[in-house]
Amino acid sequence: MSGIKQYFGIDFGTTNTAMTGILKSDEGKKNIRYGDEYGSPFPSLVAIDKLTGKVYCGRDVWKEKNELSETCEIIKSIKSYLGTEKIWTIAGKIWTPEIVAGHLFMALKENARNKYQSEVKEAVVSVPVGFSSKKRQALRKAAKEAGINIKSFISESTAALLENYKHLKQFSKIAVFDWGGGTLDVSVVEIKNNTIKELSVSGMKLGGDDIDEALARWAHSKAANKKKSNISFDEMPLKYQDKILTEAEKAKKELSYEDSTNISILKYGELGSVHIHVDFDQFTALTEKYVLRAIGTLEEAVSTAQLNMEEIDCILMVGGSSNLRVLHEKIEQLWINQHIEFPEDPEWSAAEGATSLGIYPGCFKLNQDVGLILSDNTFFSVQECHTTVPSKENQLEFGIVEDTMDARFIFSDNTYSDKEKSKKILDYVTVPVYGFGNERIVLRSYIDEDLVFKAKIKSNHKMEQFERTYELSDLKFYYELPKGLEE
């Protein structure tokens, strides 16, 4: 790979993880999707043998997850455990979410190396809007376990929007509808003055996996009825549940472009050979309730942004489950005046947007002030609005105005609180002091790569053990678009 620069982006999803790359040389660029053996994003599923501790990842694990559960601990949705105290004791070893996620990153890395001769050492990673700083830190640690440095984080909605930006740059307010295998995330964003500002987010734990199961259970009922059997889906051996779930997923995808298809299994336990015909109308009847819930989440996000649907210029549909034809038809029926953007391969949008940022990096900027309320009730900014993140350390010195052994720092964002009838208070930090007239209290602050405001406060007359620290992670940012994005 001499003379070739490699850039990688990872959309670390609840059910599937997509990784893409760009190989850039003097001759041009080559885009690669590091999919599984079927060309699909990598399942975010980890199986750990209960006796040996051997770890398995990949599409085969997903296809046999129920059967494997007899001998392995199956860990789904590892992203939801990051930043928590959750642990698993398997094969005499303690497994943390970071360790488990680290194995998933390692599987991605090995897949890229073995199939494409690509060495992944650094990547931009997309995460949901509102993904906490604790979760970001845990994800960064997990990637490091696999030898991958996370260059930066980007929200999934912003990444998907960047990937499709050249088609959408004429719009101002866009709803990004990201429906994956396990969750739906809807973000309402505003593009203005070469920046992306996230106005609201809404979501629910419902996705393509739920639709697969509904279709599989329906097909099982039809097959059992044909064979005059009263065995339930849940009574079927686990390996046969896996088989019909796999076939249901295939049928779901086929019904996105076909009017009918079949769910066929040569050997389905005691029911023998099954062949169930399903047409688009039957599939619509089965899935309509899920689609209506998804549309309700979209409307909730728009309402939270204090907008109505007529003020939304465009709806961007990304994520694998947004391919559903029944969803397309319903969205187009409801909002005939809005532009609906359906990317060709929506499950790859966020990863490809993240990858492009490796070449054309934009930047986060603080969309609020962070500062202190002083003794005269005025606000003093410590980190100003529009500061580029991560920021440089800012050092300030303060004095005390009364005889006290404790100096109280009142952090605020300079907004007015109706509840407090004054400036909104974020937190209090008490710092030990001597109360000398010439005493200086030094405050050093910055915003780090995980978008966390950090401050250290200490009297210049006190020793290091009297230093106090403060962190604030629930900050507001906007994203300044990178140059060269449309290339």
CATH 2.60.34.10 domain residues, the chain = 364-480
* pLDDT value at residue 420: 60
Nearest to 64 by CA among 202, 287, 239: 239
Q: Which amino acid is at 28?
A: G
Report residue 26: phi and psi, to 5°: -65, -25
CB 40 within 8 A of CB 17: no
C-alpha distances out from residue 347 to 161, 182, 342, Å: 13, 13, 11
What does the H/E/C string look like for the chain? CCCCEEEEEEEECCCEEEEEEEEEECCEEEEEECCCCCCCCEECEEEEECCCCCEEECHHHHHCHHHHCCCEEEEECHHHHCCCCCCEEECCEEECHHHHHHHHHHHHHHHHHHHHCCCCCEEEEEECCCCCHHHHHHHHHHHHHCCCEEEEEEEHHHHHHHHCHHHHCCCCEEEEEEECCCCEEEEEEEEECCEEEEEEEEEECCCHHHHHHHHHHHHHHHHHHHCCCCCCHHHCCHHHHHHHHHHHHHHHHHCCCCCEEEEEECCCHHHCCEEEEEEHHHHHHHHHHHHHHHHHHHHHHHHHCCCCHHHCCEEEEECHHHHCHHHHHHHHHHCCCCEEECCCCHHHHHHHHHHHHHHCCCEEEECCCEEEECCCCCEEEEECCCCEECCCCEEEEECCCCCCCEEEEEEEEEEEECCCCEEEEEEEEEEECCCCCCCCEEEEEEECCCCCEEEEEEECCCCHHHCEEEEECCCCEEEECCCCCCC
CA–CA distance, 389 with 476 (Å, rounded to integer)? 11
- Write down the pLDDT at residue 484: 66
Kindly report, as residue ranges, where domains of CATH 3.30.420.40 are found in the chain: 5-164+349-358
What pLDDT is recorded for position 421? 63
pLDDT at residue 170 in the model = 93
Q: How far is CA 407 from CA 400, 436, 440, 459, in A?
A: 7, 12, 11, 9
Comparing C-alpha atoms, which of 298, 218, 229, 317 is closest to residue 263?
218
**pLDDT by 10s per residue, the chain, length 487:** 557 889 999 999 888 999 999 988 888 889 999 998 888 899 999 999 999 999 999 888 888 998 899 999 999 889 989 999 999 999 999 999 999 999 999 999 999 999 888 999 999 999 887 788 889 999 999 999 999 999 999 889 889 999 999 889 999 999 999 999 888 999 999 999 889 998 998 989 899 999 999 999 999 999 999 999 999 999 999 999 999 999 999 999 999 999 999 999 999 999 999 999 999 999 999 999 999 999 999 999 999 999 999 999 999 999 999 999 999 999 999 999 899 999 999 999 999 999 998 888 888 899 999 999 999 999 999 999 999 999 999 999 999 888 889 999 999 998 876 666 678 899 999 999 998 778 999 999 999 988 889 999 999 999 999 999 999 887 888 899 887 666 5
Question: In the beta sheet, which residues pair with residue 255?
Answer: none
State how far the Cα of 135 lies from the Cα of 372, in Å rounded to an integer.
Answer: 27
What is the dihedral angle through the alpha carbons of 139, 148, 75, 180, rounded to the nearest 10 degrees? Answer: 70
CA 435 vs CA 132, 293, 408, 440, 475: distances in Å: 38, 60, 12, 10, 33
Strand order in the sheet with 339-341: 339-341, 314-318, 173-179, 184-192, 195-204, 477-480, 363-366, 388-389
**How far apart are alpha carbons 432 and 450 in whole angstroms?**
29
Query: 364-480: which CATH number, 3.40.50.300, 2.102.10.10, 3.40.50.620, 2.60.34.10?
Result: 2.60.34.10
Other Cβ atoms closer than 10 A to 238 = 14
Print burial letters for 150-162: b (CB count within 10 Å at least 16), e (below 16). bbbbbbbbbbbbb
Residue 409, CA atoms < 13 Å, CB-side half-sphere: 28
Pairwise CA distance, residues 366 & 389, whole Å: 7
Query: Which CATH class, in words, describes the domain spanning 5-164+349-358?
Result: alpha beta
Residue type, 359: I
Structural tokens at position 332 = 């187009």
Helix axes 156-163, 349-359, angle to 10 degrees: 80
Is residue 431 within 8 Å of residue 468, measured between CB atoms? Answer: yes
Name the amino acid, one letter, at 181: G
The length of the chain is: 487
Tokens standing for residue 158? 């912003």
